[in-house]
Amino acid sequence: MSLFLLTGIATLDIVNTVDHYPAEDEELRASASRHSPGGNALNAARILAGLGHRTELLAHLADDPGGKHILATLDADGIDHAHCPCASGTTPTSYITLNAINGSRTIVHYRELPELSSHHFKALPIERFDWLHFEGRNVPETNNMLRHARGRLLDQPISIEIEKPRPGLDQLFPQADVLIFSRAYALALGHTCASELLTALRPLAPRAALVCAWGEDGAWALAADRRAPAEAIHASAVRSGPVVDTLGAGDAFNAGLIEALATGSTLDEALRRAVTLAGRKVTGQGFSHLADGARA
Q: Which residues contact ligand FRU (rule: CB under 6 A)?
A: 11, 13, 38-40, 43, 94, 107, 109, 247-248, 250-251
Q: How many CA atoms lie within 13 A of 230 on its CB side?
A: 7
Going by C-beta distance under 8 Å and a sequence separation of 6 or more, which residues neighbour residue 231? 195
Q: Measured from the CB of residue 107, what is the shortest distance to ligand FRU in angstroms?
A: 5
Which lies closer to ligand FRU via its Cβ, residue 41 or residue 201?
Answer: 41
Q: Measured from the CB of residue 171, what is the shortest distance to ligand FRU in angstroms?
A: 21
Helix (H, G, I), strand (E, B) or coil at 232: coil
Q: Which position's Cβ is nearest ligand FRU? A: 38
Which residues make beta-bridge pairs with 6? 57, 133
Amino acid at 196: E
Q: Measured from the CB of residue 78, what is the shortest distance to ligand FRU in angstroms?
A: 19
Which residues make beta-bridge pairs with 80? 56
Which lies closer to ligand FRU via its Cβ, residue 247 or residue 261?
Answer: 247
Which lies closer to ligand FRU via its Cβ, residue 96 or residue 262?
Answer: 96
Q: Measured from the CB of residue 102, what is the shortest distance to ligand FRU in angstroms?
A: 17
Which lies closer to ligand FRU via its Cβ, residue 48 or residue 223?
Answer: 48
Which lies closer to ligand FRU via its Cβ, residue 35 or residue 119?
Answer: 35
| Pick from 212, 197, 142, 219: nearest CA to 174 | 142
Helix (H, G, I), strand (E, B) or coil at 109: strand
- Cα–Cα separations (whole angstroms), residue 88 to 62, 63, 113, 213: 6, 5, 9, 37
Q: Measured from the CB of residue 190, what is the shortest distance to ligand FRU in angstroms?
A: 23
